[in-house]
A and B are shown apart, each in its own frame.
Chain A
Amino acid sequence: MKIAVCVSHVPDTATKIVIGSDNKSIDPSGVTYIVNPYDEFAIEEALKTKEKLGGETVVISVGKDANKETLRKALAMGIDNAVLLKDDNDRDSIGIAKALAEEIKNQAAELVFFGKQSVDYDNSIIGQLTAELLGYNCVSVVVDLKIDGNKITAEREIEGGREVVETSLPAIITAQKGLNEPRYASLKGIMASKKKVIEEKAAAASDKVVEVLRMKKPPMKQPGRILGTDKTAVAELVRLLKEEAKVI
């Protein structure tokens, strides 16, 4: 079976984000980029599935040359092949999904893993969009997965509990934390990845349907207020929680 993993290259979660001078994008200088953390679960699940069922794995990413770093990391963890769908311009979600769908079709991958979301734009949508474009089944936010022949049994995280669903191949699975424990790239894997070639192609053209108009930083957190130190302050606290904070 051909197994694909789609990954994105995102700013490190510990990075302090600065908005660029165009007010539409972040200033990339001094930002460390990493493999999207949820994609690491997707990579691990692809590797585990291959170890169990056999087949071939391919990792795909849409974007700039810099994404190769993330592709290389996936190769070092043990993925067989890598494809970069090049586009130097930022795309909207559907644009990314279209490029990925075309390549997945091209690769004839039956099982595709995504992270449940990218921690950059946080749209949590690309896996589902890609499934729709390909006509694949899709299970999102998966924390446990079993594949038996054509049958897939997946546990997904829902508010306050878990839901067990069944579907069949071909399918797209988006991975949630807890699905597995991603492996470290071994030194052997790292050295082997050096010899592998990352295939480069132009990403399939796509018109933007969503445009970023402006980026804003969330308002600074207001400092706390002390209303009083004894029970006489309770009435005022309740009033503020109702009227100002509107939480009760």
Chain B
Amino acid sequence: MEKETMTHQKGGSFLLQSTDPMEVFTPEDFTEQQKMIKQTTSGFVDNEVMPKANEIDDQKEGLSVSLLKKAGELGLLSVDIPEEYGGMGLDKTSSMLVAENIGRTGAWAVSHGAHTGIGTLPIVYFGTEEQKKKYLPKFATGEWISSYSLSEPGSGSDALSARTTAKLTGDGKHYVLNGTKMWLSNAGFADVYITFAKIDGDKFSCFIIEKDFPGVSTAAEEKKMGIKGSSTRQLFLENALVPVENLLGEIGRGHIIAFNILNVGRFKLAAAVIGAAKKVISNSVQYAKTRNQFNQPISNFGLIKQKLAEMVIRTYVGESMVYRTAGLIDRILENIDPNNEDASKQTLKGIEEYAVECSILKVYCSEILDYVVDEGVQIYGGYGYSEDYPVARAYRDSRINRIFEGTNEINRLLIPGMLLKRSMKGELGLLTAAMKLSGELLALTPQEEDTDDIFVTEKRLINNAKKIAIMTLGAAAQKYMDKINDEQEVLSDISDVIMETYAMESVLLRVEKKLKSAITDEILVDIVKTFVNDAISRIEISARNILTAISDGDTLRTYLTVLKRQTKYTPINTVQRRRKVADSLIQKGNYEF
């Protein structure tokens, strides 16, 4: 595989090349400033927000807003707002660190994320000078709270089929908006709603709507399964009068705003769910150490250790993926001059470069949290089912993450879709690689293994996983051509292969880099080896599903032979390794890896 020579890696190119561990950004690389930002966020969350979790869940009047304002005083609302509009204008790693550490607050994290992410960023990236000056300083302090919606009662994933309309008034000074928007987080106390309507019924466009504009109102609170402490309402626009200067971005280009903002939302969501997972792990291990059954703490039992270990392994993997991607994005953004008038466009383009990685993070990490909360409840047993213990809330709060910011299903379709699109445009050599590979794969002889490297097997498997991803994607593209979008099951399986590959490689690179800094930590080696052992089996199953769906007869037999060869592997003793990971967690008493 060829080495990348450009200053930044192309999005999706991890499938085509190997990466030097020293080039990867990891949580061990946080700067002194980033560590201080983490401390401030953590201190604020643990002392001001967490003790009020129950009151927040009861939507105590004014509480979430007052906490947002306090967060604003510390700068926690303005990490992504440029300095000239009262913000901090910091890097995305810092932004993700804040999101991660707020993530453990569940509902309040949604209020914070809706305000600082989807509520604020459309104006940061697409606003006119006047719009930025008017709204961003107020958003930075929390004086005004923002809210956002793309959905309508009849349109969710199919966002562009929205029915809300906008019509210019005779004097050309206002738009008249009519329609209903769904699921606006913060709607109960927001001052501003960022939303979309079709001008003249066909030009999908974005608007900044203030709560006091005529014809604007909200419905009663939705009764939700989880994140109960966050306000969620419908927004009614009944002949709502919106000044023309509140059109955001260009007429008919609303989808550009919607899709770009989703991209950013996705990587921040991934950081937040990893923060939430860490908290559940810490709570669960503390519970397991104090809950006695059969005259001993349940943390002594193999099946509890197995759960705790797997919770740690997946969370550690997710964290590695999140900050690896943050590093990629920051590397591409650091060359942008914030004073350049195209800075916003360049920033979005930079983030969009990693749209595939952002989708991977969103899907993979939200499913990590779902796994962690599920096992968390199980460790608490009957008490886990009681609202008197924190894990029940974490369980309910987790579920939404697989739905919002683009469902995991939509994102699973997007991942191979985007990769193919880039390959067709010649931006990424996946299809050429697939063609080259088809000859090479059959001729392959087992490679000599460098026995000095403790990860020699894992590296071979990761390399092979990339080949499997390229082979299945290429074969599916060849088979279905432009009809590939109709084959959702195949696309989703291809996504799973790609995601597991990114996951394996990210955790391996992080641990390799850490071990190179002379810190020997056997537990981390166990984490990598156990994860790769399991992931390669999952990849094999997904690939088998793909290959049997797209081929039969001799072709299928050939594919399956190749697959078998690529996934050939002597399994390791994961029982023993998981026990070691669990023992380390039990000894620490907290998620600290």
| Chain A residues within 8 Å of B, Cβ to Cβ | 69, 72-73, 76, 184-188, 190-191, 193-194
Contact = CB atoms under 8 A, between A and B. Distances in A.
A69 B31 CA distance: 11
A185 B88 CA distance: 14
Interface in B57-82: 73-76, 78-79
A188 to B, nearest CB: 5
Interface stretch (B35-43, B527-535, B539-547, B554-562): B35-43
Nearest to B76: A187
B36 A190 contact: yes
Contact of A187 (B32, B43, B74): B74
Contact of A188 (B39, B44, B75): B75
A69 B32 contact: yes
A186 B33 CA distance: 11
B244 interface: no
Interface size class of B (residues with CB under 8 A): 10 to 19
Interface string B447-468: 0000000000000000000000
Nearest to B35: A69
Given A69-B32, A72-B32, A187 B39 contact: no
B75 A186 contact: yes
A93 B75 CA distance: 39
A185 B40 contact: yes
A190 B44 contact: no
Nearest to B44: A184
B74 A186 contact: yes
The interface centre, meaning the residue of A69, A73, A187, A194 with most chain B CB atoms within 10 A of its CB, is A187
A190 B73 contact: no
B168 interface: no
A190 B33 contact: yes
B90 interface: yes
Contacts of A76: 36
A194 B73 CA distance: 19
B32 A184 contact: no
A188 B79 CA distance: 10
Contacts of B76: 187
B33 A184 contact: no
A187 B37 contact: yes
Contacts of A73: 36
A92 to B, nearest CB: 30
Contact of A186 (B32, B73, B90): B73
Contacts of A72: 32, 36
Contacts of B44: 184
Contacts of B74: 184, 186-187
Contact of B90 (A69, A185, A187): A187
Contacts of B33: 190-191, 194
A187 B116 CA distance: 15
A184 B75 CA distance: 11
A221 B509 CA distance: 42
Interface string B564-592: 00000000000000000000000000000
B28 to A, nearest CB: 13
B43 A184 contact: yes
B36 A185 contact: yes
Nearest to B40: A184
A15 to B, nearest CB: 11
B88 A191 contact: yes
Given A69-B32, A187-B75, 14 more contacts: A73-B36, A184-B39, A184-B40, A184-B44, A184-B74, A185-B40, A186-B73, A186-B75, A187-B76, A190-B33, A190-B36, A190-B40, A191-B88, A194-B33
A47 to B, nearest CB: 15
B86 to A, nearest CB: 10
B37 A190 contact: yes
Contacts of B40: 184-187, 190
Contacts of A187: 37, 40, 74-76, 78-79, 88, 90
17 contacts: A69-B32, A72-B32, A73-B36, A184-B39, A184-B40, A184-B74, A185-B40, A186-B73, A186-B74, A187-B40, A187-B90, A188-B88, A190-B36, A190-B40, A191-B88, A191-B90, A194-B33
A223 to B, nearest CB: 15
Contacts of B79: 187
Contacts of B90: 187, 191
Contacts of B43: 184
Contacts of B73: 186
A112 B48 CA distance: 30
A207 B40 CA distance: 40
A230 B44 CA distance: 50
Nearest to A14: B590
Contacts of A188: 75, 88
A72 B74 CA distance: 17
Nearest 5 CB-CB pairings of A with B: A187-B75, A184-B40, A190-B36, A186-B74, A187-B88
Contacts of A185: 36, 39-40
A194 B31 CA distance: 11
Nearest to B77: A187
A185 B33 CA distance: 11
Contacts of B36: 72-73, 76, 185, 190, 193
The interface centre, meaning the residue of B43, B75, B76 with most chain A CB atoms within 10 A of its CB, is B75
Nearest to A32: B592
A76 B39 CA distance: 12
A245 B32 CA distance: 49
A24 to B, nearest CB: 24
Nearest to A188: B75
